[in-house]
Structure 1
Amino acid sequence: MSKRKLTRQQQFRINKVQQERLARAKKKDAKIEEQIDAGQLGEPEQGLIIAHYGATIDVQAADGRIVRCSVRSNLPALVTGDQVVWQPDDSNGGVINAVSDRRSILTRPDVRGNLRPVAANVDRIIIVIAPSPRTPVNLIDRYLVATAHDDIHPVILLNKADLISKAPEMEQELEQYRELGYEVHIASAKDAEGLKHIQEMVADGNSVFVGQSGVGKSSIINKLLPNEDIRVGEISEATGKGKHTTTTAKLYNIPSGGRLIDSPGIREFGLWHTTEEDLAKGFPDVDEHAHHCKFSDCSHTHEPGCALKTAVDNGEVLQRRLESFLAIRDSLDEVTMRGE
């Protein structure tokens, strides 16, 4: 199917917007050049992005100061967790003029379905789940595929452990993930003692909390960082889901070491950029048998001699994992995959 051609008026509007953006970028860069020529910028320093507010960014300097900075227009999209080079100006602000190579990048789809970066240099993704609102296992599997695609270590954390009676089957599901080799923790944001092992786990490197809105990501961070003021959302009586309260991805330093990045609640997670090889990384238990079928193009649904179906019958692969694998594989061409 050929692409729909733009009308002359539509093309004019697009060109106008692009020209306006270019003009703003040139104006900003011209101002920066004027500051350089006037000697208003200090020596370059290393810094860490801790929050992004549209055109401005909060950078943590090497001495711990937080500096509000503007960004040169020739830089790529910057995100929380980026290591940058910045120069202080004469008004207690600064200018970011370079970014270091990233060791990892976490992305998610925007409202148009386009991938955008969320956080950089992430060492572990903590998948927060809860009995209420109930986190479905297929959503957990999709998060695991995403972490495998980005080569980021996943951790499954069951929060609100005191509500497990509302979804008792989750205990068995968590044990199954443990048997598959995944790191699993159980805690409650109401119990500081239950979070001690989490404090030790996040004491090194950068951690990102992901999960449905309402599962308690910000509540957990409030326990880990009691001196920070993080809004905790209420549960909607109409939907039983949490209201989105954290609007900007922000990085917090843990007093004992390590950093946490709190990002907006994720209800949809895009995987259309995922190949079947990436999918296999997220399902190592399934992939172990998938290459031993009688037919090389086996769909693992109805063909005779399917090694995966045999593995399920023999108890080597969980039926629900195979179903989840097939569902995700069949939806790779979708713009987004819903976890609700």
Structure 2
Amino acid sequence: RCHLRANLPPLVTGDRIVWRASNKGDMGVVVALEDRDSLLSRPDMRGQLKPVAANIDYIVLVIAPVPIPHPNLIDRYLVAAETVGIEPVILLNKTDLLGNDANRQSFVNEIDGMLTNYERIGYRVLKASTKTEDGLNALKTLLNEHTSVFVGQSGVGKSSLVNTLLPGIDTKVGPLSESTGKGTHTTTAAKLFHFPAGGKLIDSPGIREFGLWHMEPEDVLNGFKEFRPFIGHCKFRDCSHEQEPDCAIRKALLNGDILQERMNSYRNILNSLEKA
């Protein structure tokens, strides 16, 4: 265990530090914090940004058939990742729950269509199942030699993935709530795990909504990567992309360069900023 020098800022999982041994048994002292390549933060209940993890290469957004993934929630994570400059990866976990039931085919098609849309935008999409072990090799290849963080709703199987990828860790796994169908929180603090072949994995507490109320509207706009080619090409500099004539964003929407679902997410996030 290490004490921190008084002049150091709060440390987060993933930080690289300089430490020295203490004369008191197995104790040590953290004497310096090395520069961070990246920092993932999220606002707390008071709206203050709270660092979660540092020096991350990939933000792995874990979704699952249950609880049902909603594009707006996914988009919030993607905007947050784009804003801090960390590459997001969408991972559909628990693919074994999709099955081959004809009665669920429309639901399966809906998820597949949603993931295809994200791939067309330019996001990397992976699929996996800890039960059947499908897709785990591709996931391991991505994670090796990199530092990644798992984010997503409680109940999507983040802790089960950790247990499968790193046998012997035995991270606590919790069931879905019978009354809400949502996950129950099992991971209470961010933890860092080391892969034998290299690379690190940060398991963060599950959260059901990723608040973005600390952002400016311009940050949200730039957080939608397919919007960027059209930003700054509207007739009016203060265009709200609602009803103004010659709006480049709305024109891209009509031309199919921007999906209506993504436009809905953008407006939903903006509305949440105004209400905050």
TM above 0.5, yes or no, is: yes
Cα separation, 2, equivalents of 1:104 and 1:334: 29
Alignment partner of 1:113 is 2:54: no
Equivalent positions of 1:38-187 (< 5 A) are 68-89=1-22, 90-164=24-98, 165=104, 167-168=107-108, 169-187=110-128
Contact 2:145 2:197 in 1 (8 A): no
Alignment partner of 1:271 is 2:212: yes
Quote the RMSD (CA, aligned, Å): 1.7
Contact 1:286 1:322 in 2 (8 A): no
Find the residue that maps to 1:269 and give its secondary structure: coil
**Cα deviation, residue 290, structure 1:** 4.1
Cα separation, 1, equivalents of 2:273 and 2:149: 24
- Which aligned runs of 4 or more in structure 1 are off by greater than 6 angstroms? none
Cα separation, 2, equivalents of 1:96 and 1:231: 30
Query: What are the superposed Cα offsets for residues 24-45 of structure 1, whole Å, 9 maximum, x if unpaired?
Result: xxxxxxxxxxxxxxxxxxxxxx
**Which is greater in Rg?**
1
Cα separation, 2, equivalents of 1:84 and 1:308: 44
- Equivalent pairs counted in the alignment come to 268
Contact 1:290 1:308 in 2 (8 A): yes
Cα separation, 1, equivalents of 2:235 and 2:155: 45
Cα separation, 1, equivalents of 2:37 and 2:130: 30
Find the residue that maps to 1:332 and give its secondary structure: helix
**Cα deviation, residue 333, structure 1:** 4.4
Alignment partner of 1:233 is 2:167: no
**Cα deviation, residue 312, structure 1:** 2.2
Contact 1:124 1:207 in 2 (8 A): yes
Contact 2:126 2:135 in 1 (8 A): no
Identity %: 54
Cα separation, 2, equivalents of 1:134 and 1:312: 26
Query: What are the superposed Cα offsets for residues 144-195 of structure 1, whole Å, 9 maximum, x if unpaired?
Result: 1111111111100011112234832111010010011111111112132421
Partner AA of 1:254 in structure 2: F
**Which residue of 2 is the match for residue 202 of structure 1?**
143
Cα separation, 2, equivalents of 1:198 and 1:238: 32
Contact 1:207 1:261 in 2 (8 A): yes
Cα separation, 2, equivalents of 1:272 and 1:193: 37
**Which residue of 2 is the match for residue 310 of structure 1?**
251
**Cα deviation, residue 297, structure 1:** 2.5
TM-score by length of 1: 0.74
Report the CA distance shift for 1:221/1:135 in structure 2 as closer, same or farther (over 3 A). Answer: same
Structure 2: runs of 5 or more not aligned: 99-103
Cα separation, 1, equivalents of 2:272 and 2:184: 27
Contact 1:129 1:156 in 2 (8 A): yes
**Cα deviation, residue 334, structure 1:** 4.8
Alignment partner of 1:219 is 2:160: yes
Contact 1:149 1:274 in 2 (8 A): no
Query: What are the superposed Cα offsets for residues 286-338 of structure 1, whole Å, 9 maximum, x if unpaired?
Result: 23234333333322222233333332222221111111112222333454xxx
Cα separation, 2, equivalents of 1:281 and 1:311: 15
Q: Which has the higher contact order (CA 8 A, sep 6+)?
A: 2
**Which residue of 2 is the match for residue 319 of structure 1?**
260
